[in-house]
Amino acid sequence: MGLHLVPIVLPVCLVLSGFAIAIESPHYAVVHSESDFEIRLYSEAFWASALVQRSSFQNSTKQGFHRLYQYIHGANLNSTRFPVTAPVLTSINPTTANGSICYVKIYLTAKSPPQPNSELNLEIEKWTSHCIAVRKFSGFAKDDNINKEVEALMNSLNLHFTGNTSIPEDKLSYTIAQYNSSRHQAGRLNEVWMNVPGFNAEGCSNYRRNY
């Protein structure tokens, strides 16, 4: 039976005049679930991506999101404004030649998003369908706690998939997904993401990211 991918709409991130606004997230289906992590099959999607010189995790995320915020509020060739989405991603791969950089990304609901204004130095990425291992954690994602969460996900994957060298794809690459604005104090949701193209499920593929 084929997997049914559905849009995920979460009441996170934005509150105006006392009314919470539901925010759309990229479409996925859960293809494997354990008590401390799950594997999701994400469908094709467009993301706006900001390359940032890496300082701290928190500062890099802020710098990248500032440029992405301008893009979705009209700083593009069509002056198009996009709805706010979640999560905001910060992707890190310390093994690359440019290990001092990271990518901050935001999901785009448009089927054919316009190019960003050149001064923003952004790229539009099209993700193909692929599988991601996900571990959830609460509170604020900070430099002093993300490494612990990344290590916990890696340990879980090693425990459950011993001997499968394709899970995860790269043991040092990871993404932190944040679903809430900095003003949101209680009930915060964050996730660690790792690509797992070797997972044996319909739709998982040898997807490669651009870093």
What single-letter amino acid sits at 138? S
- Buried b / exposed e over 69-108, threshold 16 CB at 10 Å, is ebbbeebbeeeeebebbbbbbbbbbeeeeeeebbbbbbbb
Residue 186 lies in a domain: yes
Expressed as residue numbers, the domain containing 39 is: 6-195
Q: Please tell me the predicted confidence (pLDDT) of residue 171.
A: 67
Report the number of distinct structural domains present in the chain.
1
Evaluate whether residue 126 is within a structural domain: yes
| 51 in a structural domain | yes
Q: pTM for the complete prediction?
A: 0.85
Does a structural domain hold residue 156? yes
CATH of the domain at 43: 3.20.80.10
Q: What is the pLDDT along the chain (211 residues), one digit of tens a residue?
A: 445 444 444 434 443 333 345 689 999 999 999 999 999 999 999 999 999 988 889 999 999 999 999 999 999 999 999 998 999 999 997 755 555 789 999 999 999 999 999 999 999 999 999 899 999 999 999 999 999 999 999 999 988 877 655 566 566 789 999 999 878 788 899 999 999 877 777 767 655 554 4
What pLDDT sits at residue 17?
33
* Amino acid code (one letter) for 11: P
